[in-house]
Amino acid sequence: MAIRNIRVEGDPILNKKSREVTEMTDRNRELIEDMLDTMYDANGVGLAAPQVGVLKRIVVIDVTEDGDSPIVLINPEIIEKDGTQTGAEGCLSVPGKSGTVTRANHVKVRALNEDMQPFELEGTELLARAIQHELDHLEGVLYTSKVEGELTSTEKEEE
Ligand code: NI
């Protein structure tokens, strides 16, 4: 178990496209465990591998309050999306900020699990938002490029 350094906006790795994972190795297993530890440690609801400096198509998500339902998506692809939701979004790589982003309200994603077995996952609202946000990271896209209006500071709330 290890907490990795989270890269912040301005680090060029966050704007690069990640590569597909072709096999589950000890190194990838360790990366996934560390990503989960890092996400929970930072009180985030999702984290993508490029945020810890690794350009692999892996994301972890947990939108539950208790943080007891980790989701691991490897080589994820959105295969269905519908509806819209407009709301506040933040990112561990853009600390202390939040902004309004419109996303699909429902998505269905196809991915591989940690045993490299395919599965599908459906989500609405916060889970759908987290899936879309994290998949954007794999394309080198930060939510700040999709914000409507100004980014606002959340620093006071965090204190
Ligand atoms: Ni993010």
Q: What is the pLDDT of residue 159?
A: 47
Domain residue spans of the chain: 12-158
Identify the three-state secondary structure at position 33: helix
Whole-prediction pTM? 0.95
9 is catalytic: no
13-54, pLDDT tens digit by residue?
A: 999 999 999 999 999 999 999 999 999 999 999 999 999 999
Compute, in angstroms, the gap from residue 125 CA to the centroid of ligand 1: 16
Query: CA distances (Å), 15 to each of 9, 18, 24, in order?
Result: 9, 9, 25
**Using CA of residue 144, residue 146, residue 152, residue 157, what is the dihedral sign?**
negative
Compute, in angstroms, the gap from residue 150 CA to the centroid of ligand 1: 17
Choice among 134, 150, 157, 159 that is catalytic: 134
Compute, in angstroms, the gap from residue 56 CA to the centroid of ligand 1: 15
Question: Hey, what CATH topology would domain 12-158 get?
Answer: Peptide Deformylase (3.90.45)
Any bridge partners for residue 80, and if so which?
A: 108
Whether residue 122 is predicted with pLDDT greater than 60 in this model: the reply is yes
